[in-house]
Structure 1
Amino acid sequence: MTSIKDIAKKAGVSISTVSYALNGNPKVTEETSSRILNIAKELNYVPNAAARTLKKRVSKIIGVYLTDFSGAFYGEIVQGMKDVLNKRGYDLIVCSGSYSHRLLPQRMIDGAIVLDHSFASEELLQLAGRGHKLIVLDRELNHPNVNQVLLDNKAGASLAVEYLIEKGHRKLYVVTGPKDSFDSKQRLQAARQTIERNSDVVCVEIEGNFDKESGSQAAEQIMREYKEPAAVFCLNDEMAVGLYNALVKADFRIGEQIHIIGFDNIELTQYTQPRLATIDYSKRKWGALASEQLIKLIRGETVEHERVYVTLVAGESVGISET
């Protein structure tokens, strides 16, 4: 790869003169600058972006760290981030895995939005302590360089369980998410608290993993245990759809024998028949708000923690209990 040193040697000038010319510094005459630029082009010189970023300490790039890229959920939230950042002159890169964590200390990105439970909180606090600006969407961290933009998981889970109970259901299943997921923990805690306030409700928890496969596996257990109509709260829609499909294939009547509510209101839920009840919020708005907060942090502006509110979307997948 061609370096500044190679250009300087061919042009017969110093390395600093080449650097000035490449950066448009008026210290170099127009004639010398033109000659250096032509040589750089001839040698196929490509500027070292990493070195330039380290020097200027600004990359105009934001990183978003995600646990996973699959499913409809991530596309909308990332689009919300991108819409805001592009308007403010920033590019967005999507990161995953421990090696990409180095982008922050190496100053390859100006800040990060984190929705990745595998990114340890201790590491994030260390990075914040070194001055890096961070937005977290999946945990609570107390540091002036960290801002929280969290989904109101507890309110959503309470709405879902209360909806089932108001419909008269007293036998409930809750299909959980990954054990290390902040959203799953928050939703499960609120679901348990709501159920505990209703002493006549019986609840069975089934471990899930926020994907269709674990929803399908939950359906197998529910079908084996089936004796009378029951209601199911899946802690996300991906599992609810997996559960839904498995039950339909086994000729169970959704909204009559098994009643289902999910969480996230992904687009697919709008096309199920009967329509899947779920908890709704704007994923695009969540991503946009995270980006706005990060830009404020980078600029040194004061920010307050934000919360994304949720609403209930009723659906025919939950009917009135006849028991």
Structure 2
Amino acid sequence: MVSIKDIAKHAGVSIATVSYALNGNPKVTEETRKKILTVAQELHYVPNAAARTLKKRKTKILGAFLTSFEGAFYGELLQGMKEEMGKRGYDLVICSGTQSHRMLREGFLDGAIILDRLFSDEELLFHATRGHKLVVLDRELSHPNIVQVLLDNKAGATFAVEYLLRHGHKKLYVVTGPTGSYDAEQRLQAARQTVERNGPLWYAEIPGNFDKESGAAAAQRIISEYSGPVAVFCLNDEMVIGMYRALKDTPYRIGEHIHVVGFDHIETADYIQPRLASIDYSKRRWGAVAAEQLLKLIEGLGSEHERIYVSLVEGESVKRS
């Protein structure tokens, strides 16, 4: 059986460096980590814990890997996963952070659902090549052991921008999302394409991070540049909530001076005033479909890529210019 000593010899690094790389330790640079993972894959390395698990039995435990737990987004998604897995006798473990990646690497999980930017594509492909079953919600990867269950981000962003344009708005801000986020990149790309198709109009992007703080910062910039009614597409609802709060004690009103559409239609969106227009989809169904496809993949029942469709929920946060 290949050991980490063999990997170290072939990669020209120390055994300690190989151990750090395989366990996701930040002491190793990304370049070195990729090199070591490549060598490990070429040598068909399997961690001892994973080998022991494969010899004994399935764990009947599945993992959901998330970048963070912040915001109101994750509850319904995870509940959908849990309910579907429970029907088949599986338990769900929620993981976050690079150290938790070892649970997959060392075979403590029968499979995993990935919504975690801390996993690189190379790392996931490495795990898939080793036989791990994965469902990805946040990227496009081609491998027999990986299934994609992706949100239709481009359709949603197109709906949002077209809704603002149909209301006669010719000045548009887009508040973006975190660097490296697949969902944010897809939404921003579609927003830009929709603007290009429907120009000419005034257009600007404000950096965001899918949190209330960046939404509040975006509101402050919009106020500082304000010269008349503007339309805003925030790439998620958490940023819109921050914008509402930031504007609360100012003369500027949502639906009058600033017209806003969000994305995700979180529960709070139905209770803030004026009611928020947002892109809606079933987060519980997204989680359930992801779990269903993972179980099919594990059991060899013909899993397939799926797309979660979206719709626009209109609200008083957008009125005619």
**TM-score normalised by L of structure 2:** 0.83
What's the % identity of the aligned pairs?
66
Q: Deviations over 1:277-306 (max 9, x none)?
A: 000000000000000000000001212210
Q: What is the alpha-carbon distance in structure 2 between the residues aligned to residue 50 and residue 224 of structure 1?
A: 56
Letter in 1 for 2:137: L
Task: Note the C-alpha offset of 1:251.
Answer: 2.7
- 2:238 corresponds to 1:238: yes
Task: Note the C-alpha offset of 1:54.
Answer: 4.8
Per the alignment, residue 154 of structure 1 pairs with 154
3-state SS, counterpart of residue 138 of structure 2: coil
Per the alignment, residue 17 of structure 2 pairs with none
Letter in 2 for 1:165: L
Letter in 1 for 2:156: G
Whether the 8 Å contact between 1:58 and 1:107 is mirrored in structure 2 is no
Pairing of 1:164-203 with structure 2 (within 5 A): 164-203=164-203
Per the alignment, residue 211 of structure 2 pairs with 211
Task: Note the C-alpha offset of 1:104.
Answer: 1.8
Whether the 8 Å contact between 2:208 and 2:214 is mirrored in structure 1 is yes
Pairing of 1:213-292 with structure 2 (within 5 A): 213-292=213-292
Residues 51 and 186 of structure 1: is their aligned pair in 2 closer, same or farther, counting only changes over 3 Å? Answer: closer
Per the alignment, residue 77 of structure 2 pairs with 77
Q: What is the alpha-carbon distance in structure 2 between the residues aligned to residue 98 and residue 298 of structure 1?
A: 24
Task: Note the C-alpha offset of 1:102.
Answer: 1.3
Task: Note the C-alpha offset of 1:99.
Answer: 1.5
Stretches of structure 1 that go unaligned for 5 or more consecutive residues are 1-48
May I ask how many residue pairs the two structures share in their alignment? 273
Structure 1 range deviating more: 277-286 or 94-103 = 94-103
**TM-score normalised by L of structure 1:** 0.82
Whether the 8 Å contact between 1:261 and 1:278 is mirrored in structure 2 is yes
Task: Note the C-alpha offset of 1:198.
Answer: 1.6
Structure 1 range deviating more: 71-80 or 181-190 = 71-80
- 2:295 corresponds to 1:295: yes
Q: What is the alpha-carbon distance in structure 2 between the residues aligned to residue 56 and residue 83 of structure 1?
A: 27
Task: Note the C-alpha offset of 1:224.
Answer: 0.2
Letter in 2 for 1:90: Y
In our comparison, the structure showing a higher alpha carbon Rg is: 1
Q: What is the alpha-carbon distance in structure 1 between the residues aligned to residue 69 and residue 126 of structure 2?
A: 26
Whether the 8 Å contact between 1:67 and 1:115 is mirrored in structure 2 is yes
Letter in 1 for 2:150: L
Residues 300 and 52 of structure 1: is their aligned pair in 2 closer, same or farther, counting only changes over 3 Å? Answer: same
Q: Deviations over 1:92-118 (max 9, x none)?
A: 000111121111232110000000011
Letter in 1 for 2:182: F
Per the alignment, residue 97 of structure 1 pairs with 97
Q: What is the alpha-carbon distance in structure 2 between the residues aligned to residue 214 and residue 57 of structure 1?
A: 47
Task: Note the C-alpha offset of 1:53.
Answer: 3.9
Per the alignment, residue 314 of structure 1 pairs with 314
| RMSD of aligned alpha carbons | 1.4
Pairing of 1:19-38 with structure 2 (within 5 A): none
Q: What is the alpha-carbon distance in structure 2 between the residues aligned to residue 158 and residue 291 of structure 1?
A: 28
